[in-house]
Amino acid sequence: MPLRICILETDILRPELIDQYQGYGQMFQRLFSQQPIAAEFTVYNVVKGEYPSDDQTFDAYLVTGSKADSFGTDPWIQTLKTYLLNRYERGDKLLGVCFGHQLLALLLGGKSERASQGWGVGTHSYKLAAKAPWMSPVREELTLLISHQDQVTELPENATVIASSDFCPFAAYHINDQVLCFQGHPEFIHDYSRALLELRQEALGSQIYSKGVASLEQEHHGATVAEWMMRFVAHKPEAA
């Protein structure tokens, strides 16, 4: 039986990007379709108020990235927080990327805010700080495509850091066998990162923009993170 994953899409792409990339839900489906673990996906755009019906069940719920702030007060963000807290309390598995990573940290007792480090763009490398049975294939360090100016600055107290860097100390974490989150974007491809950099060139300033574009020469481990996520969802902890 393939895993059933609910993708809670928390953004609508800029008009210039929609034709080519559709949305983050589609980008994740393309990424996960290349993984060895079979899964089926249903996408709900929560900005538009779309959610699964009560009788639908999933093996995990994935919260995507967004141009919105995780600490924002938009009504759709408040609705999503209530929904996710309910899912967490039921024991459902939750996955978060970028905005989702920050929102789940915030929701479960941590802190997310505008980072004093400024914008992180392009390709970024992290040291791996923990090992777990679902972290296969094994890597010594992790490189991901990023685009964020907010960060998790305090983790929930029961969270374990997986990946960190000087720029982003809490770049990935998990909470037991229930929550797994990454600041970087496994679903991004180099062309999408380049398009985002072009659109944000003015806001970023020439130095950050140029450095970000140059960093896109590096490969990234999005496929590895996708496999970790699916193994995390499929993983059944051994009874104590």
Among 124, 185, 220, 221, which one carries the catalytic annotation? 185
- Give the integer Cα–Cα distance in Å for 72 and 76: 10
Q: Extract the tokens encoding 196.
A: 């985002």
Among 6, 98, 168, 181, which one carries the catalytic annotation? 98
Distances (CA, A) of 55 to 51, 58, 121, 163: 11, 10, 40, 36
Half-sphere exposure for 121 (CA within 13 Å, toward CB): 24
Q: Extract the tokens encoding 50.
A: 């779309």
Q: Is 98 noted as a catalytic residue in this protein? A: yes
Contact at 8 Å (CB) between 125 and 141? yes
Q: Is 235 noted as a catalytic residue in this protein? A: no
Q: Is 6 noted as a catalytic residue in this protein? A: no
* Closest by CA position to 3, among listed 31, 36, 44: 36
Among 124, 187, 220, 227, which one carries the catalytic annotation? 187
Question: Annotated active-site positions, please?
Answer: 98, 185, 187
